[in-house]
Structure 1
Amino acid sequence: MFDQRRISLADIAIGEPLPWDVYGEGNRLLLKRGQVIVSMRQAESLLSRGLFIHADEQEKGAQPKQEQRAGAKAEQPSALRFINLATKRLERVLYNFASEENVQAKVLEVVKALGYAGTVNADVCLAAMLLNQGSSSYAVRHGVDSALLARQVARAMNKTEREVEDIMAACLTMNIGMLRQQDQFQARTEPLGPKDAELVRNHPAESVRMLRQAGIDRPDWLEFVLLHHELDNIQPSVEGGIREIPQNAKIVSLADRYTASVTTRKYKKTLLPAMALRDVFMKNGTPSDPTLAAYFVKELTTYPPGSLVKLQSGEVGVVTRRGKSSTTPTVHAFLGPRGAPLSYPIARDTSKDLYLIRGAIPGDAAALCFSLQQLWGSDAAL
């Protein structure tokens, strides 16, 4: 009997020869070493059937001859496509949670796919929080948004790979205890009532209960879910008793609060990114956690990618890349000074006086019609 390891989207390099034989259920050979997966759609189709490699083949990792890749037209990796694919896979797991098998492995596979998206283009990952809201239901998309932001901060803080995994997994599953109710909240226009507030207050503990029942056995992951609505220093622990809230749990909590503040919810006002930073991180005029606040501000900046802004020239555009300072990102202008659409998006250097940013504007304040691919090229192709 061979020792098998399931592979995920993050293990597959589109357009590159496979370094090992790939098997399906029943140890059936599906792809030989050296074959090339040429598109994301092909990879998604194969992964839906379940793919495994033999552990001894992984150790070999032999590179095939150069001529084996001849004639294969490689598809450029797209951060947005990885995000959307990961979101769909997470959606299937969460909405079928009670009957789903191998939940831990499947969630960690989503974590890997989102991590790969971050290596392709971190700015696209941040922009997706603001510009990719139609990719799934709010409940699922919010977990993905939180995981992408938390990953960025955790890596900036040099957290270990295991820590980053647990942080992201907690973000993806923190609201499983009120998943369907969270979707129902989106149809509401009035503030949440007392019963709703009680559900929100109790859902971290309910989420932990459901995760344990599903076989999640990573204590930090469970602890971060339990504490994701808490920022005080001392709180209950999964094992019982009390403990100081770990920094990694605070990363989950702050990512949760920030992404919820900047995305559209009918029953609650949507904040502009800079206002959300102040609302989430400042308490009585001082940061609730100065160290974490500094990292979040550095990664997000005043105008994160995806923000709509008005320039000194009168043009309106979208922030596409973070700059040397928090207030001088690259902006692609879409509307001219008189509000007329430009023929194509024009990159503006906001460190120059003519294109200084006057301020951010709400997403519904400008009638912009564009695809993310127009702004980020193949990194945001669908």
Structure 2
Amino acid sequence: MTQYDIIVLGAGAAGLMAAIEAGKRGRKVIVLDHAKTAGEKIRISGGGRCNFTNINATVKAGRDRFLSQNPRFALSALARYTPDKFIALVDAYSIPFHEKTLGQLFCDGSSQQIINLLLAELRKAGGTLRLETVIEGVTHADGVFTVNAADASFTGAALVVATGGKSIPKMGATGLAYQLATQFGLKVTETRPALVPLTFEPRILERLAPLSGIAVDPTRISVRKKSFDEAMLFTHRGLSGPAILQISSYWREGDAIVIDLFPNGDLGDILREARSDTPKLALQTVLSNHLAKRLAQMLAEEIGITTMMGDMSDKSFQKIEDALRRWTIKPTGSEGYRTAEVTLGGIDTDGLDSTTMAARTVPGLYFVGEAVDVTGWLGGYNFQWAWASGWAAGQAA
């Protein structure tokens, strides 16, 4: 049996950050993970370039860009470990990066650079990493946590659980964090896939499937008084793209989503100009100047106005605007945890201290990252939560 000050379960973003910060404080730390390599979700993120933070993931923005039963819970950690602190770390390792859009920061090269940075920091802090270690059980007695693996046991005065949520099980995601929370008397809120493509019933899918691969940028997708102006992508399963992934965190079964294909509000001007300048064109032709040809054809057929532009009335224009700017469609579900980028919900924040991430009723027990009921928007917010929550636990454990 090997003794440590702190045992960290999970070698992802939050777990590595917690271990690094604890190690810097002179704590003897080990990180355990069942995977063959560390940081697998970091590796695949951002199309392999790792959208490692968002410059807008601040306390002010965090009031509405992090979902939780207690949205204020995340603010303490986000205020103390801000995006500029992780950016400084990236700069220190001379990793080139760029802002893609909306404050999203990506590596110019491979996401492996971020993993290498974290592993280098862990080594500098004196931490130990043990991979391919399957956790069989955790016990707590006399102020000591014992973690039993298939081939070894580890003890420590503190245990940081950073094993994530249920999203992308092929990457090794499990419900271990929720099991441990329940074991130690903490509540777990309802969990569901988030930042995930939406799916539709066969009748609707039959209409959408021929559009697979077509992107519309921007669109405005709305549900439950929430809307996002970003790109939308038609797939053979339904709808995806940033706008859909964002709205999926707010969508619930039974809700219809409203799609605005001309969110800049210029459709009326386009129609009036076409009536004046190109009166002999059909609606499909006019729309194909602004949308993909297949999409323009499908929409024109559904609207059903067959007269030429010069013969269209203002009433016809209103019908077109209603169809293209208020296209209402009801998903039947999502692609689930298989493709979800994160898990919505998780360990109830009522049982955690927002400044340290410590369990209120179990001294020495901490939960960080995706396992906690804090879910950020698409675009680097969830990584910033991982860095900030891991950092907070690492300062205290």
* TM-score where L is the length of structure 1: 0.28
Higher share of residues assigned strand: 2
Larger radius of gyration: 2
Higher relative CO (Cα under 8 Å, sequence separation at least 6) belongs to 2
